[in-house]
């Protein structure tokens, strides 16, 4: 029995040290220390670039042990994108550069340049062979599902294939999904039995974290001895492990293959819109119950990874902003500033914050925060002390945005989203105050009853995909639009009914320096329209939103400001200098709001020129994780309603360091 065994370790840019330390203590180190005792066990490792950098600085003994095992011949290291990007979601030049930088990094630490590369989330696109070739990569791992989708049979996937793009050849290892679900969740005898039945080598390259960090796995893998038992079977010669390069050297490709644009099977479910994802799950569950899923699996496909940019407009904005910055960095002259800006950009390309599946992803504010932090640093290096204004379709929604950069603030105005502000980044603290996420209905919110699947055999534990949790959604609210900054509701009947303007498309009426007037004709009745204007102006660290008078038309106005604080547990709030509890929903009156975010050390002042009703509440989402559901704070909604709109209404928003 032959086995190619690989593990992939990754921690996102922006993850706190305590999370990474836990991963080393519960998973990475115990695994490596166990491996050191079994000289005949060979394993391929992919340690993402950010994690490798962290370990070199804070867990050097892990790197030293990995180097020792590499010299001993037990370990082969794979490269990849340095900061774990989805390669098809970033510019080609950046992808090649990230691949090269990581290969150089690995060579500098371990003395050998990697021949293979990890393909992040196994997101395949047809051009991948050409960028790998330019970066000196000869092989990668994808799922067996990729091959099933191209028409091959499951029993013919025990080996390696090759593909090409524009004549650039790349070897492909199809990882076995059944083997991924067996290791380490089922008994070692079940794994041996499965490998014995294969017509060729078994191939697995899966998450390192399943060996100690996922639910139940630390006790199972280490305390109950699964890993030692499995390595002992290999050490005794019952199973022969091969490094990927060794298998390539031993035989020939099983043939030429062309893969579709696809990722692993579960990604097809997660990337669909909620209703379709629910139907997809319902359909595949039906096929599984009828023992038909494996037969038809290659013909059953959900969405593709890039659907997340449609599913989450906030993700689309981050990704398109990243591309906007990338283009301008490439225009810089060569030198230290350009290289520093590129490193910030590459860290902002880390994939985790751009999507959501079984793990939190985009729902974790600290991951989105890290993207905006790195983009802010890149912007500051790119534009310096200049002021820049761009009017172009940055997020590719077929409508132009107003992009304003100053050394203090970046402000992105979206005329087609009610003239609201999608980003307001305070550069001195590298914080985007509109790092918000709306409350979306996900397909797992539609599950009617809890299901904790029974274990398939007595001596086993459940995988994360076998854990389905029920969430009571009766009390959960969902949003109909993005939670941006500075959109309005208006009333023409004294506040009995309100009409939201967030979905309305405003026109740019005039531009004077950093002052922008937007206009929208809104219906007062079936026979009458009025011109609704708002003026947005930037001066240093001040943002001002003004609403000129609207003739004789009786009008009530409510303005919504959504901001994202680092943590409401470490935030102070005052309305007209009276201290209030941030966690509680506040209904008050006044014209001045002071907020201090003590973690980011940022002070906010919101001052209306008229006495107003003030409503402040916190916005939470409920998202699935590998351990159940997380209730996560996503935004603070502030609504200002002037009590008597007798003159032009204005709101001053000031940001400063505390």
In 10 A of CB 503, how many CB atoms? 12
Residue 81 phi/psi, 5-degree rounding, is -65, 130
Instruction: Determine how β-strand 556-563 pairs with β-strand 485-491.
Output: antiparallel
520-554 burial, b at 16+ Cβ within 10 Å, e below that, comes to bebeeeeeeebebbbbbbbeebebbbbbeebeeee
Q: Which run of H or of E encompasses 79?
A: none
Closest CA to 69 of 49, 39, 26, 48: 39
DSSP state of 577: T
The CA distance from 268 to 357, in Å, is: 10
634 in Cβ contact with 434 (< 8 Å) = no
The CA distance from 615 to 593, in Å, is: 11
The CA distance from 484 to 170, in Å, is: 44
The CA distance from 480 to 467, in Å, is: 30
The CA distance from 300 to 313, in Å, is: 27
Percent of the chain with pLDDT over 90: 88
Nearest 5°: the CA angle 38, 43, 46 is 140
Question: What mean pLDDT do residues 28-54 have?
Answer: 98
7 in Cβ contact with 194 (< 8 Å) = no
Q: Is the pLDDT of residue 455 over 60?
A: no
Question: What mean pLDDT do residues 329-350 have?
Answer: 97
Q: Residue written as tokens 């009008």?
A: 555
Report in angstroms the alpha-carbon separations of 606 from 208, 561, 590, 646.
Answer: 47, 10, 11, 20
How do residues 445-454 score in pLDDT, each as one tens digit?
Answer: 988 654 444 4
Report in angstroms the alpha-carbon separations of 559 from 233, 437, 527, 546.
Answer: 67, 18, 26, 11
121 in Cβ contact with 305 (< 8 Å) = yes
Q: Is the pLDDT of residue 178 over 90?
A: yes
* 323: helix, strand or coil: helix
The CA distance from 213 to 404, in Å, is: 43
How do residues 42-84 score in pLDDT, each as one tens digit?
Answer: 999 999 999 999 999 999 999 999 999 999 999 999 999 999 9
How do residues 462-492 score in pLDDT, each as one tens digit?
Answer: 666 565 556 666 678 999 999 999 999 999 8
Give 118-182 as a 3 state SS string: CCHHHCECCCHHHHHHHCCCCEEEEEHHHHHHCCCCHHHCCCCEEEEECCEEEEEEEECHHHHHH
Question: What mean pLDDT do residues 119-136 have?
Answer: 97
Question: What mean pLDDT do residues 107-129 have?
Answer: 98
What confidence score (pLDDT) does residue 517 get?
A: 97
Per-chain mean pLDDT for the chain = 94
Minimum mean pLDDT range among 95-109, 119-133, 489-503: 489-503
| Alpha-carbon dihedral 561, 563, 567, 568, rounded to 10 degrees | 0
Nearest 5°: the CA angle 349, 352, 353 is 80
How do residues 561-570 score in pLDDT, each as one tens digit?
Answer: 999 999 999 9
* 525: helix, strand or coil: strand
Query: If pLDDT is split at 50, 70 and 90, which confidence band does 179 have?
Result: very high
Nearest 5°: the CA angle 204, 207, 209 is 135
What confidence score (pLDDT) does residue 382 get?
A: 97
The CA distance from 447 to 473, in Å, is: 10
72 burial via Cβ count (<10 Å: 0-12, 13-18, 19+): exposed
Q: Give Cα 117 to chain centroid, integer Å.
A: 21
* 447: helix, strand or coil: coil
Question: What mean pLDDT do residues 425-450 have?
Answer: 91
Treating both helix axes as pointing N-terminal to C-terminal, what angle do 92-110 and 60-72 enclose, rounded to 10 degrees?
A: 80
Report in angstroms the alpha-carbon separations of 555 from 536, 550, 642.
Answer: 20, 8, 11
How do residues 386-411 score in pLDDT, each as one tens digit?
Answer: 999 999 999 999 999 999 999 999 99
What confidence score (pLDDT) does residue 377 get?
A: 98
Question: What mean pLDDT do residues 595-613 have?
Answer: 97
Q: Is the pLDDT of residue 526 over 90?
A: no
Nearest 5°: the CA angle 40, 43, 48 is 155
| Catalytic (active-site) positions | 121, 207
Measure CA of the first residue to CA of the last residue in the chain; give whole Å: 63
Q: Is the pLDDT of residue 552 over 70?
A: no
How do residues 251-272 score in pLDDT, each as one tens digit?
Answer: 889 999 999 999 999 999 999 9
The CA distance from 266 to 180, in Å, is: 13
Query: If pLDDT is split at 50, 70 and 90, which confidence band does 553 have?
Result: low
| Residues in contact with 179: Cβ distance below 8 Å, sequence separation at least 6, in sequence order | 191, 194, 195, 202, 203, 204
Q: Is the pLDDT of residue 549 over 90?
A: no
């Amino acid at each position: 029995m032959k086995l190619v065994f690989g593990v992939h370790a990754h921690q996102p840019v922006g993850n706190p040290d305590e999370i990474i330390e836990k991963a080393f203590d519960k998973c990475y180190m115990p695994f490596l220390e166990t491996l050191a005792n079994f000289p005949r066990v060979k394993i391929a490792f992919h340690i993402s670039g950010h994690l490798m950098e962290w370990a070199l600085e804070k867990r050097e003994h892990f790197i030293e042990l990995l180097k020792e095992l590499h010299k001993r011949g037990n370990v082969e290291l794979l490269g990849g994108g340095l900061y774990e990007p989805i390669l098809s979601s970033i510019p080609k030049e950046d992808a090649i550069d990230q691949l090269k930088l990581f290969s150089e990094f690995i060579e500098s630490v371990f003395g050998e340049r990697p021949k293979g590369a990890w393909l992040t989330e196994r997101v395949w696109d047809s051009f991948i062979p050409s960028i790998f070739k330019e970066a000196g990569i000869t092989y990668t791992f994808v799922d067996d599902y990729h091959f099933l989708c191209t028409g091959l049979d499951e029993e013919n996937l025990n080996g390696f294939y090759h593909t090409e793009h524009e004549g650039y050849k790349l070897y492909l290892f199809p990882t076995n999904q059944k083997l991924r679900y067996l290791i380490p969740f089922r008994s070692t005898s079940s794994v041996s039995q499965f490998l014995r039945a294969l017509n060729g080598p078994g191939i697995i390259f899966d998450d390192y974290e399943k060996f100690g960090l996922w639910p139940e796995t630390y006790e199972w893998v280490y305390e109950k001895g699964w890993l030692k038992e499995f390595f002992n079977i290999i050490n005794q010669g019952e199973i022969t492990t091969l490094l990927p390069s060794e298998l390539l050297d031993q035989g020939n490709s099983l043939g030429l293959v062309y893969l579709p644009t696809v990722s692993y099977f579960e990604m097809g479910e997660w990337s669909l819109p909620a209703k379709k994802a629910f139907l997809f799950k319902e359909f595949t569950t039906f096929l599984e119950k009828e023992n038909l899923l494996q037969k038809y699996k290659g013909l059953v496909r959900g969405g593709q990874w890039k659907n997340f940019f449609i599913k989450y407009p906030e993700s689309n904005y981050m990704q398109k902003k990243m591309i906007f910055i990338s283009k301008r960095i490439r225009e810089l002259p060569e030198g230290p500033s350009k290289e520093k800006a590129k490193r910030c950009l590459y860290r902002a390309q880390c994939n985790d914050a751009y999507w959501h599946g079984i793990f939190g992803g985009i729902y974790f504010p600290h991951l989105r925060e890290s993207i905006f932090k790195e983009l802010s640093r890149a912007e500051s290096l790119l534009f310096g002390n200049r002021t820049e204004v761009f009017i172009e379709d940055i997020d590719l929604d077929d409508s132009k945005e107003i992009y304003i950069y100053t050394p203090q603030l970046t402000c992105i105005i979206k005329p087609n989203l009610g003239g609201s502000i999608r980003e307001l980044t305070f550069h001195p603290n590298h914080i985007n105050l509109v790092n918000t996420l709306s409350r979306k209905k996900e397909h797992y919110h539609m599950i009617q009853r809890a299901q904790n699947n029974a274990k398939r055999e007595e001596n086993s534990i459940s995988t994360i995909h076998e854990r389905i949790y029920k969430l009571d959604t009766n009390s959960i609210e969902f949003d109909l639009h993005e939670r941006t900054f500075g959109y309005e509701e208006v009333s023409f009947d004294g506040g009995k009914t309100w009409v939201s303007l967030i979905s309305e498309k405003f026109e740019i009426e005039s531009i004077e320096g950093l002052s922008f007037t937007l206009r929208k004709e809104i219906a007062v009745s079936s026979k009458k329209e009025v011109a609704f204007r708002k003026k947005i102006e930037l001066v240093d660290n001040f943002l001002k939103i003004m609403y000129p008078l609207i003739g004789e038309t009786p009008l009530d106005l409510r303005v919504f400001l959504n901001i994202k604080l680092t943590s409401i547990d470490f935030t102070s709030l005052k309305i007209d200098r009276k201290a209030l509890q941030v966690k509680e929903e506040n209904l008050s009156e006044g014209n001045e709001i002071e907020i201090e975010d003590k973690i980011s050390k940022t002070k906010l002042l919101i001052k209306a020129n008229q006495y107003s009703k003030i409503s402040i509440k916190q916005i939470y989402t409920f998202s699935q994780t590998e351990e159940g559901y997380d209730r996560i704070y996503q935004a603070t909604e502030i609504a200002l309603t002037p009590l008597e709109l007798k003159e032009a209404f204005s709101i001053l928003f000031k940001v400063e360091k505390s």
